Structure 1
């Protein structure tokens, strides 16, 4: 999340809740991605935005390392700022996902560590059913008929 990102209104970023019967999984996934991209957080969702590396973990530094030089102090400051931004991005994204999935699915993902892990898990119970859903949707589409004196435009919109 960069300082150049703009804060967008809640209505603009609102996505419909994922329906428990999986009917809207494909559109939910795309709308979530678009919403997250509008916030500049797509890297978190895709798992490409990596957690910053703690300077204490660099080779040769122990847990008792204390920065003493100006460069080390700057390095620690940059790390703390990057870590704060990364945590904020993760929190926003996990909350966005948590607020739009059914409780039964939330229980399954709540212990995953990152938003990317959660997003990678979501297709498991849904995309396995996508072929069945495609057949159901095709059948539903084929069953649609415009009434004899009905409005053809309304019929097309419904389809």
Structure 2
């Protein structure tokens, strides 16, 4: 049994763009969260992933020190640097997935937020309220649709669907 995940360039990771008016919000949200989850990055969307805290600097030497004031080894500094780099790389992957599927107007609105969890939360706030309006508008449009006298009933049902 093949347990390899498809490459990140796979069409499985393509999410259609979120339209300006949010009419595809419900399906967009499900698709983007599925893609982010498939990449193992859900902690970055829900805010559970946190940036590692850098070591404090010694006031006299300006070098990083442990909480007890002891100097750090080169290995300890490198390990923390690696953890910080890994956080930024994964957070940036989530940002790119979101930024690549939203409009430029929305991107300009959320780009000031620093981490992907805050960006996603803002996108949700903006579009969650629109969902009800979209449903109301859709119901109104469905109720207003009529099959013309002598029109093609099959085509009319196709439009309704």
Identify whether the pair has TM-score above 0.5, normalized to the shorter chain: yes
| In the alignment, structure 1 residue 64 sits paired with structure 2 residue 63 | yes
Q: Residue 19 of structure 1 aligns to a residue in which SS?
A: coil
Q: CA deviation at 1:96?
A: 1.2
Q: Verify: 1:32 aligned to 2:41, yes or no.
A: no
- Measure how far apart 1:115 and its partner are: 0.5
Distance 2:64 2:107 in 1: 39
Q: Distance in 2 between matches of 1:79 and 1:142?
A: 60
For residue 48 of structure 2, what is the aligned residue in structure 1? 48
Asked if 1:127 corresponds to 2:131, the answer is no
Aligned pairs, how many? 148
Aligned-pair distance for 1:78? 2.2
TM-score, normalised relative to structure 1: 0.76
Q: Deviations over 1:137-159 (max 9, x none)?
A: 233455678986638xx849x72
What's the CA shift for 1:27? 1.2
Residue segments in structure 1 that go unaligned for 5+ positions in a row: none
Aligned alpha-carbon RMSD (Å): 3.1
Structure label with greater radius of gyration: 2
